[in-house]
Structure 1
């Protein structure tokens, strides 16, 4: 911490973004004391105010929370928002997914991927997904119709060999890798008017930035560029999307994806679990030990 500028030390009061809890002060909004909600603190708010979800009390705009459906517990709902909205907005706001279309989810056991599978199935789409072999039953249990084990061979090679027919309407990369191979070879398995979506590079997935930028973002078609649409998924605080996601939950079409639960005083163990990269679903910190 000694290397951080003093203004950052003042700002970064609390961390994390997803939350579920009970309203103690609606502050003149439609929410009232005692309402049970789930929601999130967007990154820009966290950076500008220091407010975070990993705290006993937090303050946030009322539009960033929604009443928690009674068929899920606070612990289950606490990991919904960021991953759920990232999946929801990608499929509906960007891809304009319709019933009867087909979706490929790369990273079906990730938090975003887990929700993407469920949301796509709820819309009436056919879903294929990738994960390691040990997570096949988990991914199929979420609704995936077809499974690819990415550890067997490079995924783009498996998809090329599969001779996908009909081709996917949406390819959603939820792992956070920057390897351009999946996009470069996508004409073989992504429909001409299909869309390739990505959550963007994360952690060790940053890889070769120059190769990615050239092959995905800059290379024109006359120089061999891919004639498919590529879009970065950036989650936004849209109240109607949060309500739409909550409706899927209330109808039982989307269920929680909780990997593990840790006590507030053991929050560091939650981060250790995330760093193993073996988590399937969300890692939750239970601030209130009496919460269900």
Structure 2
């Protein structure tokens, strides 16, 4: 009998408990497209937009059924003439990661850093790629002060570490329960966003304005950008990660406010500060940069929790993710994966 594997599919619109299904008995591919690699997956890291899109998008847009998730770490089984060799430990990101075996373009993979486990490597790609690109877009330099909203988010945790490695001063937000996590990463000033409206707290700071703002939370509250002249230097830039308010109507309203602020002249209510969205890069060189950041110790991946690949484990993992209280990545472990660095 030919060897088979299991994978998690999005099969219908709805939350994970309704829309995600484990399918078994899938044949392991024995022929691969050019420049693709067969990887035996060790661990998968969950991303919030996966379940949010499954809740919000109809079938004809989401193109169900499809294997879910993107971030993974694993072992090369068939290098298929690429630069890899069988047995290489790799991490990367591409559609269809929640699977015991994955066919993935070689350009979307790099070797796992030697100083992390597969469980840690699984969550490196999207959050570290995004954080690194955001700081590039902001053009931050040593000695400058960067404000990071959402410091305890997975992207925020990576951004804090990269900014500190660049020699920046970092001011970051989180709730009080995560204060020590951020301070241990080197945050110079912690702001508890639950203590009072964040815009008010920032406007009252008795410190020079920020040189750059990275909103790792995304488009949750346009007020942070619309009021940023009170705390962002005139030549500073505001960069936002992707984010999704509770409904498409809310999203449309936020976008309208943000782009009005960006595009209108000041005398018509425009915001005299540069604004941009960060996009997650996908070039091979970007994955290599992430690997180097981790291998050199500039970024230490943070894992919130580890769950099993069966239904109970996967549903518990998404339940944790949907609380919005995970600190670091929520990871699914394939049972026979190794935890050795």
TM-score, normalized by the shorter chain, greater than 0.5: yes
For the pair 1:280 / 2:322, whether they are aligned, the reply is no
- Assess, with a 3 A threshold, how the Cα gap between structure 1 residues 2 and 56 changes in structure 2: closer, same or farther: closer
For the pair 1:60 / 2:113, whether they are aligned, the reply is no
Which has the greater radius of gyration?
A: 2
- Assess, with a 3 A threshold, how the Cα gap between structure 1 residues 2 and 76 changes in structure 2: closer, same or farther: closer
2:306 maps to: 261
In structure 2, C-alpha distance between the alignment counterparts of 1:238 and 1:76, rounded to whole Å: 21
Which structure shows the higher helix fraction? 1
In structure 1, C-alpha distance between the alignment counterparts of 2:125 and 2:337, rounded to whole Å: 22
Flag structure 2 segments of 5+ consecutive residues without an equivalent.
Answer: 1-10, 14-57
Matched length? 280
2:265 maps to: 220
Secondary structure of 2:78's partner? coil
1:160–1:189 Cα contact (<8 Å) kept: yes
- Assess, with a 3 A threshold, how the Cα gap between structure 1 residues 184 and 62 changes in structure 2: closer, same or farther: same
1:216–1:230 Cα contact (<8 Å) kept: no
Q: CA deviation at 1:176?
A: 2.5
Which structure shows the higher strand fraction? 2
Q: CA deviation at 1:5?
A: 4.1
- Assess, with a 3 A threshold, how the Cα gap between structure 1 residues 275 and 126 changes in structure 2: closer, same or farther: same
- Aligned 1:193-208 pairs, distance under 5 A: 193-204=235-246, 207=250
In structure 2, C-alpha distance between the alignment counterparts of 1:57 and 1:189, rounded to whole Å: 48
Cα distance per residue 1:132-155 (max 9 Å; x no partner)? 011000111122110000001111
Query: TM-score, normalised on structure 1?
Result: 0.90
Structure 1 residues 244-253 or 195-204, which shifts more?
195-204
For the pair 1:161 / 2:204, whether they are aligned, the reply is yes
Flag structure 1 segments of 5+ consecutive residues without an equivalent.
Answer: 47-51
Cα distance per residue 1:61-112 (max 9 Å; x no partner)? 11111111111000011011001101011111x1122222211110000000
Secondary structure of 1:88's partner? helix
- Aligned 1:79-228 pairs, distance under 5 A: 79-92=123-136, 94-165=137-208, 167-204=209-246, 207=250, 209-210=252-253, 212-214=255-257, 215-228=260-273
- Assess, with a 3 A threshold, how the Cα gap between structure 1 residues 128 and 55 changes in structure 2: closer, same or farther: same
- Assess, with a 3 A threshold, how the Cα gap between structure 1 residues 132 and 5 changes in structure 2: closer, same or farther: closer
Secondary structure of 1:23's partner? strand
Structure 1 residues 110-119 or 188-197, which shifts more?
188-197
Cα distance per residue 1:224-274 (max 9 Å; x no partner)? 211101101111202212211211111112101100000111111110110
1:252 maps to: 297
